[in-house]
Amino acid sequence: MKIGVVTFPGSLDDVDAQRAVRIGGNEAVALWHGEHDLKGVDAVVLPGGFSYGDYLRCGAISRFSPVMAEVVEAAQRGMPVLGICNGFQILCESHLLPGALIRNDHRKFVCRDQRLRIERADTPWTSAYEAGQEITVVLKNGEGGYVADEATLDRLEGEGQVVARYLDHNPNGSLRDIAGVSNERGNVVGLMPHPEHAVEDLTGSGTDGLGFFTSLVEAVLA
Amino acid sequence: MSRVVVDVMPKPEILDPQGKAVLGALPRLGFSGVADVRQGKRFELEVEGEVTDEVLAEVARMAETLLSNPVIENFTVRVEETAEVQA
Amino acid sequence: MSRVVVDVMPKPEILDPQGKAVLGALPRLGFSGVADVRQGKRFELEVEGEVTDEVLAEVARMAETLLSNPVIENFTVRVEETAEVQA
Amino acid sequence: MPEDSPQPRVSALDTVAVATDDPGREQPWSDLGLKADEYARIREILGRRPTSSELAMYSVMWSEHCSYKSSKVHLKQFSEIPQETPAGKMLAGIGENAGVIDVGQGYAVTFKVESHNHPSYVEPHQGAATGIGGIVRDILAMGARPVAVMDPLRFGPLDAPDTHRVLPGIVEGVGHYGNCLGLPNIGGEAVFDETYLGNPLVNALCVGVLRHEDLHLAKASGAGNQVILYGARTGGDGIGGVSVLASETFDADGPAKRPSVQVGDPFMEKLLIECTLEIFAAGLVAGIQDLGGAGLSCATSELASAGDGGMHVELDRVPLRDSTLAPEEILMSESQERMMAVVEPGDVEAFMAICAKWDVEAVVVGEVTDTGRLEIDWHGERVVDVPPRSVAHDGPTYERPFARPAWQDALQADAAEALPRPTTGEELGETLLRLVASPNLCDKSWITDQYDRYVRGNTVLSQPSDSGMVRIDEESNLGVAVATDCNGRFAKLDPYTGARLALAESYRNVATGGAVPLAISDCLNFGSPEDPDVMWQFAEACRGLKDGCLELGIPVTGGNVSLYNQTGETAILPTPVVAVLGVIDDVTRRTPTGWRAVEGDDRGESVFLLGE
Ligand SMILES: Nc1ncnc2c1ncn2[C@@H]1O[C@H](COP(=O)(O)OP(=O)(O)O)[C@@H](O)[C@H]1O
């Protein structure tokens, strides 16, 4: 499959996401924020980083990039979209996902290996996992605290839109330990931790993150 | 040139880690009598020409779409006023 | 309970990357007529009792030592006033 | 303007013509840090008094920081070390922005460590952040993609109140700037000692990778080539000092207040990196220089001095953040995130297009000439006309007196053997606990967890390993490793041996990871060179480094000297930080630090002790 990885000004983990896409057995297609062009890809990854320096609010300025108009439209049609870290923030700012991400409760950037539980294994990005499976991937963020009002949180839990949850230790003050959520349809997933840094034994925190990049094929074959 | 100020504050029900940290630090620095602190953002916009109602409405739209995130923040728009104590 | 507001702004001669980023984004969103943007912080302090001059002086000291960095920022202290346009 | 303005209003621009006509004007050379003989020498070089713009340039370029006037005579001996590494000839050495070494397979690596000590004391976050920003631009200017950073840090005691002011800001500044650039932080140091209390050390290291053919040098050659300034706009940053010049030309109520601190914009720097690499890849650069300390003064004079002709610059074309800046101030501004490139006329358009793609402002500010002079105009009037070499490379050199301190013998005689020893098992246990709990030895993750060590996906070793290691080729698994070390307490006891120990430790740390050490960069942090005791420490450390490098067969590729690190009369511990870089053919064969269980073998790994 062809998976697009968008580069915004200030994207950092775009090369890593491309590598993970390749290691996952798919073709990585570089997409540029300034073009209204998804180059015929089957799915899109919005990578991590500090797009526009994270100035104003994380993702607030990138959301208005030309390419995002296309991503929003494609997502509404059902195209799989994965936002990692800064990409998650952009998806929330674009209103493709509910809630928002705020400064970590301890107010520091944190980089660590984080244990997660995959809560939902029926999205196109998580079908390689079992529901309830526990994995360890890299987490690194300064503004990763997931917040939404109580009603929204209850709805997310009720509808099964919580995709991943922090285990052992909540690293950023996210409400209900939420590490990732999806939209109602399940095709758009936002994740604060970085599965693309857990695809090789040599670098990062092991290979537990690979499933996010192999799921798509399985989803299609299934 | 006129100055329009947009204040953006976290909604009361939303956690404000920065405000909380300030609140926690005050007594350690010997300050008492502050019951709560919220930290938000202040934008000073220099706009060309006079500040008409239209300009204010335009700024309100900027505030709503770009400067604030309505999920977690409220905003206020005003024409700059002078302050009481200046550093 | 009264509210005292501390506004902290980057000094005019100091680079303000955040304000610059906002300024750069406005035209792309179709907003024109803004010549400059500076972004600072706004603190809302709820203080117990009445806001006397002493209280204001105390808050000014907090502003100077904790809320702002005098090397790169200026601050203003004021008692909250109502705004013209409220979101 | 008020009639009773207390400052004499010197309205006319101080041009070369004015300087010739009005040779007797009093100039504030002393306030700018120049000595009487240095000022006299400038007059001699120019055959007249300098204009205020020229004075600004000379004063900053002849400062200790830029001219290495106290250290040069000692650094010279590093060139006695053969200029080649165990892997071959050095591709660029001392004198360039950073040294470049061959690591095989067509790859070259450049690395350098620099100090940003004083700014980090004044404004910890921004000082440390701009320290990272500065070293990254140095590496970029060589034609390399920056791939990792490291941060050797020194602080006062952990429980001292000023450490609480300084440390969080510095760590946050290093972290934020590096994280925002997407450069993994693969190691560093965090050392605590009394002597750093009023004078923390923030050293910053960056490693970059390039193909041999991508090497770029800082020189302006080829008359007619265009000089392009690109990146951030120029503001009044870091020019506290020259304001004495500018204030002469302003009214009392003019914009006299100029900040001495710089604020960094890592997002701008990230754009600058990607933009510059794309420009390199398109082959559009004939020469390039980053703007760091001394800003345009340094970039224009160094480019012109290293080139084959001269340079003409129209200073009023420089994009400004603050329109009230005077020419002297523009020349001295240390605004961050700027670069200067020399580009053939036919390539300018393509150059500009790439800058536009990345939203990076770029302006042609001048051109290379065949006059042999650096000529700078301000709105059509000449304000600078100097031989560039006299500014950039032929600054003053001092043979500062140095002598073994009178207290050195007593210090050495006061050996550890004289200290009380734990005698019982209980005391021994207590001592052990005290040791492992000491800030200098304990786990550093409270610092390193604030740094992104994974970004770019090539980090093979980082904290808590002895060295940082990154993969530079995903196909062949070629990689490089770097470690930085220095024990200032050893160096104080014996600076010669201390420097050798710093080198040996760093060398070992690279080797134990599985890499072959190839070359070093160093950051020599010392007290005041005007103190013969300190100067002796410095001289001894240089001699030690040279001898150590000779013995190990590795060259010094470059580095940085930071003097005047002292609080009142107390100098910091002599701190010659040594960074060793090594190469490893196959990073999958790296050796991580720590005991590991062998899978399927419950006996685990065997443990050997090497050496005596
Ligand atoms: N300021 C720092 N920045 C990044 N890494 C650091 C810093 N300080 C220490 N480290 C890393 O933490 C680990 C442990 O450091 P340290 O206790 O100094 O080790 P050692 O004593 O073995 O040199 C090393 O991997 C070192 O590179």
Length of chain D counted residue by residue: 612
Closest Cα to residue A3, out of A44, A35, A39, A31? A44
Residue B33 resides in a domain: no
User: What lines the ligand 1 site, CB under 6 Å?
Assistant: D 151, 153, 185, 187-190, 444, 447-448, 463-466
Residues A108 and A180 sit within 8 Å (Cβ to Cβ): no
Record the tokens describing residue D424, joined without a space.
């019982």
Which residue has its alpha carbon closest to ligand 1 atom 18? Answer: D189
Tell me which residue in A57, A92, A103 faces B18 most closely, judged by beta carbons.
A103
Tell me which chain A residues have a C-beta less than 8 angstroms from the C-beta of C28.
Answer: 64
Length of chain C counted residue by residue: 87
- Nearest-Cα distance to chain A for D328, in Å, is 31
Please tell me the least confidently modeled range out of A22-36, C49-63, D151-165: C49-63
CA distance linking residue D372 with residue D308, whole number of Å: 8
- How many domains would you assign to chain C? 1
How wide is the angle at C-alpha A183 spanned by C-alphas A182 and A189, nearest 5°?
A: 35
- Nearest-Cα distance to chain A for D587, in Å, is 8
Residues A32 and A65 sit within 8 Å (Cβ to Cβ): no
Q: Hey, is A6 helix, strand or coil?
A: strand
- CB pair distance less than 8 Å for D182 and A204: no
In this predicted structure, what is the pLDDT of residue D599? 66
Smallest CA–CA distance from C65 into chain B, residue:
B29
Tell me which chain B residues have a C-beta less than 8 angstroms from the C-beta of C86.
Answer: 74, 76
Distance D468 CA to ligand 1 centre (A): 10
- Nearest-Cα distance to chain D for A184, in Å, is 31
**D447-464 average pLDDT score:** 96
- CB pair distance less than 8 Å for B66 and A61: yes
Tell me which residue in A142, A196, A203 faces D458 most closely, judged by beta carbons.
A203
Record the tokens describing residue D83, joined without a space.
């200029």
Residue B57 resides in a domain: yes
Residue C52 resides in a domain: yes
User: How do the residues of chain D divide into helix, strand and coil, expressed in percent and rounded to 5?
Assistant: 35, 25, 40
Alpha helices for D182-286 (secondary structure H): 243-246, 266-281
CA distance linking residue D563 with residue D65, whole number of Å: 8
Residue B87 resides in a domain: no
Which residue has its alpha carbon closest to ligand 1 atom 14? Answer: D464
Please tell me the least confidently modeled range out of A140-144, D234-238, D488-492: D234-238
Residue C32 resides in a domain: no
- Nearest-Cα distance to chain B for C1, in Å, is 8
Distance D467 CA to ligand 1 centre (A): 9
In this predicted structure, what is the pLDDT of residue A144? 96
- CB pair distance less than 8 Å for D232 and C15: yes
Please tell me the least confidently modeled range out of A176-185, B7-16, D181-190, D347-356: B7-16
Phi, psi of D267 (to 5 degrees): -65, -45
Tell me which chain A residues have a C-beta less than 8 angstroms from the C-beta of B13.
Answer: 149
User: What is the average pLDDT score of chain A?
Assistant: 95
User: How do the residues of chain B divide into helix, strand and coil, expressed in percent and rounded to 5?
Assistant: 30, 35, 30
pLDDT confidence bin for D244, thresholds 50/70/90 = low
Distance D463 CA to ligand 1 centre (A): 6
For testing contact with chain C, the best of B11, B85, B86 (most C CBs within 10 A)? B85
Residues D450 and A110 sit within 8 Å (Cβ to Cβ): yes
Q: Confirm whether the ipTM is greater than 0.95.
A: no
Tell me which chain A residues have a C-beta less than 8 angstroms from the C-beta of B66.
Answer: 56, 60-61, 64
pLDDT confidence bin for D258, thresholds 50/70/90 = low
In this predicted structure, what is the pLDDT of residue A221? 55
Residue to probe by mutation, ligand 1, list D444, D447, D523, most atoms within 8 Å of CB: D444
**C38-48 average pLDDT score:** 95
Please tell me the least confidently modeled range out of A199-213, B19-33, D563-577: B19-33
Residue with tokens 């090369």: A15
Model confidence, pTM: 0.92
Residues D262 and D336 sit within 8 Å (Cβ to Cβ): yes
- CB pair distance less than 8 Å for C21 and A64: no
Range of the domain at B66: 2-13+40-80
Record the tokens describing residue D12, joined without a space.
């006319």
CA distance linking residue A180 with residue A166, whole number of Å: 9
Tell me which chain C residues have a C-beta less than 8 angstroms from the C-beta of D126.
Answer: 72
Q: What percent of chain B has pLDDT over 90?
A: 70
Half-sphere exposure at residue A65, Cβ-oriented, CA atoms within 13 angstroms: 28
User: What is the average pLDDT score of chain D?
Assistant: 91
CATH of the domain at C66: 3.30.1280.10
For chain A, which residues lie within 8 Å of any Cβ of chain B, measuring from their own Cβ? 56-57, 60-61, 64, 92-93, 98-100, 102-107, 145, 147-149, 173, 175
Burial label, D475 (beta-carbon count in 10 A; 0-12, 13-18, 19+): exposed
Residue to probe by mutation, ligand 1, list D185, D186, D448, most atoms within 8 Å of CB: D448
How wide is the angle at C-alpha A64 spanned by C-alphas A58 and A69, nearest 5°?
A: 125
In this predicted structure, what is the pLDDT of residue A29? 98
In this predicted structure, what is the pLDDT of residue D612? 75
Is residue D116 annotated as part of the catalytic site, yes or no?
A: yes
Which residue has its alpha carbon closest to ligand 1 atom 27? Answer: D187
CA distance linking residue C31 with residue C33, whole number of Å: 7
Length of chain B counted residue by residue: 87
Report how far apart the first and last C-alpha atoms of chain C are (Å, whole number): 23
Q: What percent of chain D has pLDDT over 70?
A: 94
Residue B32 resides in a domain: no
Tell me which residue in B21, B66, B71 faces A100 most closely, judged by beta carbons.
B71
- Catalytic residues of A, by residue number, are 85, 194, 196
Going edge to edge, which strands form the sheet with D201-211? D84-85, D88-92, D99-104, D107-115, D201-211, D145-155, D185-192
Judge D/A contact: 3 or more CB pairs < 8 A: yes
Please tell me the least confidently modeled range out of B59-68, C77-86, D364-373: C77-86
**D553-557 average pLDDT score:** 96
Residues D91 and D215 sit within 8 Å (Cβ to Cβ): yes
Tell me which chain C residues have a C-beta less than 8 angstroms from the C-beta of D122.
Answer: 71
Give C36-73 as a DSSP string. EEEEEEEEEEEESS---HHHHHHHHHHIIIII--TTTE
Residues D144 and D135 sit within 8 Å (Cβ to Cβ): no
Residue C83 near chain B (CB below 8 Å): yes
* Whether pLDDT at C82 is above 60: no
Distance D438 CA to ligand 1 centre (A): 14
**B75-84 average pLDDT score:** 73
Residue C23 resides in a domain: no
Range of the domain at A55: 2-220
CA distance linking residue A208 with residue A206, whole number of Å: 6
**C52-57 average pLDDT score:** 91
- Nearest-Cα distance to chain D for A200, in Å, is 9
pLDDT confidence bin for D254, thresholds 50/70/90 = very low
In this predicted structure, what is the pLDDT of residue A222? 52
Tell me which chain C residues have a C-beta less than 8 angstroms from the C-beta of D235.
Answer: 13-15
Tell me which residue in C39, C47, C77 faces B84 most closely, judged by beta carbons.
C77
- Nearest-Cα distance to chain C for B80, in Å, is 10
- CB pair distance less than 8 Å for C84 and B78: yes
In this predicted structure, what is the pLDDT of residue B84? 39
In this predicted structure, what is the pLDDT of residue A220? 60
Please tell me the least confidently modeled range out of A164-168, D48-52, D256-260: D256-260
Which residue has its alpha carbon closest to ligand 1 atom 6? Answer: D188
For chain B, which residues lie within 8 Å of any Cβ of chain A, measuring from their own Cβ? 10, 13-15, 17-18, 21, 66-67, 69, 71-72
In this predicted structure, what is the pLDDT of residue D242? 55
How wide is the angle at C-alpha B66 spanned by C-alphas C27 and D335, nearest 5°?
A: 65
Angle in degrees, 0-180, between the axes of helices D161-181 and D124-141, rounded to the nearest 10:
40
- How many domains would you assign to chain A? 1
Q: What percent of chain D has pLDDT over 90?
A: 80
Chains near C with 3+ CB pairs less than 8 A apart are A, B, D
Q: Which amino acid, residue C31?
A: F
In A79-118, the residues whose Cβ lies within 8 Å of chain D are 108-112
Q: How far is CA D290 from CA D126, D308, D402, D440, D526, in A?
A: 19, 19, 35, 35, 26
CA distance linking residue D55 with residue D469, whole number of Å: 45
Q: Which amino acid, residue D58?
A: Y
User: How many other C-beta atoms are found inside a 10 Å radius of the C-beta of residue B82?
Assistant: 7
Record the tokens describing residue D611, joined without a space.
């050496």
pLDDT in tens, D93-143: 887 888 999 999 999 999 999 999 999 998 999 999 999 999 999 999 999
Residue with tokens 């340094």: D298
Distance D536 CA to ligand 1 centre (A): 29
User: How many other C-beta atoms are found inside a 10 Å radius of the C-beta of residue D103?
Assistant: 26
Residue C30 resides in a domain: no
Chains near D with 3+ CB pairs less than 8 A apart are A, C
Please tell me the least confidently modeled range out of B73-77, D5-9, D311-315, D319-323: D5-9
pLDDT in tens, D522-551: 999 999 999 999 999 999 999 999 999 999
pLDDT confidence bin for D249, thresholds 50/70/90 = very low
